[in-house]
Amino acid sequence: MGDTMKGREIIEKLEKKYPVSAAESWDNPGLLVGDDESQVQRVYLTLDVTKEAICEAAAWKADMIISHHPMIFSPVNKINNHSFLGEKVLKLIQNGITCYAMHTNFDVCKMAEINADFLKLQDVKVLYVTERGNEKEEGIGRVGMLPERMTLGECAQYVKECYHLPQVKIFGDLKMQVEKVAVCGGSGKSMVQDALRGGAKVLITGDIDHHTGLDALDQGLAIIDAGHYGTEYFFMEQVKKDLAEINSALEVKCAEVKLPYEYR
């Protein structure tokens, strides 16, 4: 292959691995901004299409941004410089940058598997099934056995080490023994009942609020909140590998891996 490809060609190959049909009905993955017939040589990868990400991509002269989270979720009536979203869309268009997102389709087809692999889970099953085929089930999250039995406190430390995180939030008795756990990248508070049905003693995920944590504990489920970013940032490295397989001549740059908040 040559040094460039049409955006459409890159998208077609990515969607063979992460078909849009695998996404949840409420989601909005796919081509969000730009012309997919334009030639692409430089691809910038990011979890979120922030102003900072767009500015860095533009300075690097990227032709395409691929993100995990869709920049546009809800219907938009106007695109202009008077809105936060409008400014970002205009910046992309002015710099000739195509913007494409792979969200819950990536979660189903790869994110859940990577999370389970990070934790070295055994006897792994799908946490929330979205699709049943003849050979296997697909879906959000995974449930499985830790490499060894440990306390909740030790499990929290294990999660920090596996994900290279400075801190996690724990709901539960640090001395309780755990072995079977559920993991869901991103925001997993809707997975509490699925984790309980799967027999997990702990749910490892992100974005757990006060009431969700307390309600989970009341039902016998401990929670380790490793953060939305903390359980998904590896999206960028995975897509970088995918693009290298599609065309090794493509230039790929990942946004810096850093938590979007600090602990004090």
DSSP 189-248: GGGHHHHHHTT-SEEEEE---HHHHHHHHHTT-EEEE--TTTTTTTHHHHHHHHHHHH-T
- Dump strand ranges (E) for 4-121: 5-6, 30-33, 39-40, 42-46, 64-67, 98-101
Same domain, 79 and 111: no
Sign of CA dihedral 24, 28, 113, 258: negative
Q: With bands split at pLDDT 50, 70 and 90, how would you rate the model's confidence at 209?
A: very high
CATH number at residue 51: 3.40.1390.30
What local confidence, expressed as pLDDT, does residue 171 receive?
98
Q: Is residue 243 part of a domain?
A: yes
- The model's confidence at residue 264, banded by pLDDT at 50, 70 and 90, is confident
**222 with 230: CB under 8 angstroms?**
no
Instruction: Take residue 249 and report the two structure tokens written for it.
Output: 């001549």
State whether residue 49 is helix, strand or coil: coil
Same domain, 80 and 43: yes
Residue 134 has pLDDT above 80, yes or no: no
**CA 62 to CA 47: how far, in whole Å?**
16
Q: How confident is the model at residue 36 (pLDDT cuts 50, 70, 90)?
A: very high
- The pLDDT value given to residue 67: 98
112 and 212 assigned to the same domain: yes
pTM above 0.85, yes or no: yes
In tens, the pLDDT along 181-204 reads 999 999 999 999 999 999 999 999
Q: Do 250 and 220 reside in the same domain of the chain?
A: no
Partnered with residue 70 across adjacent β-strands are none
Same domain, 180 and 250: no
Give domain status of residue 181, yes or no.
Answer: yes
Predicted confidence band at 135 (pLDDT cuts at 50, 70, 90)? Answer: confident
Residue type, 239: V
Residue 139 lies in a domain: yes
In this predicted model, what pLDDT tens digit does every residue of 226-260 receive, in sequence order? 999 999 999 999 999 999 999 999 999 999 999 99
Residues 216 and 237 in one domain: no
Q: Do 111 and 210 fall within a single domain?
A: yes
* Other CB atoms within 10 A of residue 235 CB: 25
Task: Flag whether 158 is in a domain.
Answer: yes
Distance of CA 22 to CAs 28, 85, 114, Å? Answer: 12, 26, 17
Among the listed residues 164, 109, 161, the one whose alpha carbon sits nearest the alpha carbon of residue 133: 109
Could you write out the DSSP letters of every residue in 133-149? -SS-EEEEEEEEEEEEE
What's the total number of domains in the chain?
A: 2
Alpha-carbon distance of 112 to 255, in angstroms, equals: 21
- With a pLDDT cut of 90, the percent of the chain lying above it is 94
Within this chain, do residues 220 and 110 fall inside the same structural domain, yes or no?
Answer: yes
- Band of pLDDT at residue 211, cut at 50, 70 and 90: very high
> pLDDT (tens digit, 9 = 90+) per residue, 63-77?
999 999 999 999 999
Q: Tell me if 133 is assigned to some domain.
A: yes
Q: Identify the band that residue 132 occupies on the pLDDT scale cut at 50, 70 and 90.
A: confident
State whether 170 and 220 are in the same domain: yes
Could you tell me if 90 and 182 lie in one domain?
Answer: no
- Residue 191 CA to residue 227 CA, distance in Å, equals 15
For residue 262, the 8-state DSSP code is -
> Residues 189, 201: one domain?
yes
Lowest mean pLDDT among 73-77, 130-134, 172-176, 258-262: 130-134
The answer to whether residues 141 and 77 belong to one domain is no
Domain presence at residue 64: yes
Residue 259 in domain: no
Range of the domain at 239: 5-104+233-254
Q: Is the pLDDT of residue 1 over 70?
A: no
Instruction: Quickly count: other Cβ atoms within 10 Å of residue 133's Cβ.
Output: 7
Tell me, what's the pLDDT at 3? Answer: 82
Average pLDDT over residues 1-28: 94
- Half-sphere exposure of residue 1, counting CA atoms within 13 Å on the CB side? 16
Residue 261 lies in a domain: no
Q: If you average pLDDT over residues 39-48, what whole number do you get?
A: 98
Q: Which of 155, 215, 214, 208 is nearest to 186 (CA)?
A: 208
Helical axes 7-17 vs 235-246, angle rounded to 10°:
120
